[in-house]
Amino acid sequence: MTRKKVCFFLLFLFSGISLSEAGIVTVRILTSRVINTFIFSPLTGSYKVVADGRIVSDSADGSGIFQMSIAGDSILLKTFERTIGKFASIKIYGKDPGSAFKIKAVIPESKVRTYDDDLEVSLSADKKQFLLVNKVDLEKYIAGVVESESGTKTSLEYYKLQAILCRTYLLANLNRHIVDGYQVCDDVHCQAYLSKSKEEDIRVAVTDTKGLVVVDNDLNLITAAFHSNCGGQTVNSQDVWSISTSYLKSVKDTFCLKQPHAKWQRSIPQEDWKAYLQLKHKYPVDDTVKMNTASSFSQNNGRAIYFVDKDLKIPLKVIRADFQLKSTYFSVEQQGDNIIFNGRGYGHGVGLCQEGAMRMAKLKYSYKSILSFYYKDVHLVDLSALSYFRQE
């Protein structure tokens, strides 16, 4: 794969997004919460507050606190000292490169969250909840996602890999919510983004890998799937999403086997299991042989796709969803009047096994080696190649 070929592809891929636009991400925050009242306050730097196009504060600093509430079809903006007014939209801009702010929901109450850069506030179409959009530098957003998805107790090398995957996933899904007035949301529908990053190693990892993304042999951004723990074997993409890819292939993984989410167990009454199989899947529970088979299902020799027999067309992913199990990688056994699910792993099992990758990083594998272990026939590309191509 030549550099010019990559440049040409990326120029085509991002032809509708200028480099300056691609450097800023609009993220809906607190997506899953219906908030009536919240408090905004600067954390670092100072802010300008613009309400319906009019500047109402031009020097909000760490001592400036604003309360916003839903009042009919408007946003009521207050400080501790006075009521500023009612507005349709409010935009709060950081005046300094390192500006960051805090948000605390008051009704209903929640913990404080912190974010970088700017905040845009409006109401949903039905005027019943806030639409809070963090307009944030792309790399700062990636740092926040890495911390939200990975936590703060792993290694720099792992953070580098996670940053590259999160950046790749973002750019492949950049306009997922564009019809809603923002690009991505902050929950697992897009990527978890719970706050700005507070971990120095994460910020270093993001800086060290700035602009790096992953492409496949056809020079497409990959589906950068990851999950918590594969239980010893990852899954082919087509076995979970019915979409075959050249790079999301099942691999044996011994690195995650002794990690926190490697094993789990769940017990349910046998009568519930029988009723479920009969009502949901028309399984012949009155056939003693068939029922014994359904009560002694095993995946000890590797992952399966279907329960008991593929001819019955009972996908394990359906059973997982119906019983809210941690993974599809489970065996079934009967103990007295109960059915025991003995499970392995946590998550869909496709792509990067996070706990396995964290273990590899601790064993001094490079992020490039870890990437090639979990994703087959992929390549790292620097987005700065766009500028190189345009200069020639």
Q: What is the pLDDT of residues 105-138, one digit of tens each?
A: 998 888 999 999 999 999 998 998 999 999 999 9
CA distance 93 to 116: 10
Average pLDDT over residues 67-73: 95
pLDDT at 22: 53
Report which of 66, 70, 131, 61 is spatially closest to residue 98, judged by C-alpha positions. Answer: 61
Query: What average pLDDT score do residues 241-258 get?
Result: 95
* pLDDT score of 67 more than 80: yes
**The pair of three-digit structure tokens given for residue 391, joined into one six-digit string:** 């200069």
Q: Are 326 and 261 in contact (CB under 8 A)?
A: yes
In this predicted model, what pLDDT tens digit does every residue of 4-16 receive, in sequence order?
A: 444 444 444 443 3
Is pLDDT of 188 > 90?
no
* Position 313 confidence tier, pLDDT thresholds 50, 70, 90: confident
Q: How does the average pLDDT of the chain come out, rounded? A: 90
Q: Comparing 17 with 86, which gets the higher pLDDT?
A: 86
What is the mean predicted confidence (pLDDT) over 243-251?
95
pLDDT band at 355 (very low <50, low <70, confident <90, very high): very high
- The residues spanned by each domain of the chain are 1-30+137-222+381-392, 35-128, 263-344
pLDDT of residue 387 exceeding 60: no
Examine the pLDDT at 80 and tell me if it is beyond 90. no
Indicate if the pLDDT at residue 386 is higher than 80. Answer: no
The per-residue b/e assignment along 184-203, b for 16 or more CB within 10 angstroms, e otherwise, is: bbbbeebbbbbbbbebebbb
Span 327-337, mean pLDDT? 96
Specify the pTM: 0.89
Q: Mean of the pLDDT values across residues 196-207? A: 96
Q: What is the pLDDT of residue 62?
A: 63
